[in-house]
Structure 1
Amino acid sequence: MLPDIGVFGPYTYLVTEVVWGTIALTLVVYAGVVREAARTVAVLYPFAYVWDWYTLEVGVFAIPLRTGVEFLGIPIEEHIFMVVVPAMVVGTHETIRKLTDEE
């Protein structure tokens, strides 16, 4: 059985983003691809923002365990998510490449 992360109440989503964001940042720094990750985030962010805003507006999904703080019409946690996910992808990919090249 998985632990109930809802113990953080309205900060649950924020806490998970900080945890995974820390992992993503660690991978990006380890692989030496901070600029590449930042560029990827910058390119994807506008599309992700519009998609997120639209899906929240039409009620496709709801996020109950969040702070309620919004910026530019979407929860602050979603903005963080839109940075963490591409950074995690780049960091994971480049870390695997770095480890493979070292062999």
Structure 2
Amino acid sequence: MPDIDVFGRYTYLVTEVVFGAFAYALLSATGALGRAARTVVALYPLAYVWDRYTLEVGVFQINLRTGKEFLGIPIEEHLFMVVVPSLVVGFYEVVNPRDDT
């Protein structure tokens, strides 16, 4: 496996930006930006509570992060909560194209 910690404390942020760009490309190509945005808005509150709780009780620890937090969780986690559902919607739209004819 390649050494992914070459970005040091920015490693997690860089991975979120890269996967976010991929999600954006999928959503743009399929015309699903609006559907992804609605999905993110619907899921974000639950994801935030879940993430805040799991970090608080020590379910996981994030080592390669900036150390910057917003609303009690790392900024990278906020991006994660946008990127993951966006990728899911993007892939769904690619494998299930809409027949608008």
TM-score by length of 1: 0.93
One-letter amino acid of the structure 2 residue matched with residue 62 of structure 1: Q
Pairing of 1:1-103 with structure 2 (within 5 A): 2-98=1-97
**Counterpart Cα distance in 2 of 1:83 and 1:26:** 14
Identity %: 67
Partner deviation per Cα, 1:30-54 (whole Å, 9 max, x = no partner): 0001110000000000000000000
What RMSD over aligned residues (CA atoms) do the two structures have, in Å?
A: 1.1
Unpaired segments ≥5 residues, structure 2: none
Following TM superposition, the consecutive aligned residue runs of length 4 or more in structure 1 with deviations greater than 6 angstroms are none
Partner deviation per Cα, 1:40-99 (whole Å, 9 max, x = no partner): 00000000000000010111110000000000000000000000000000001101222x
**Counterpart Cα distance in 2 of 1:50 and 1:97:** 31
Figure out how many residues of one structure are paired with residues of the other and give that number.
99
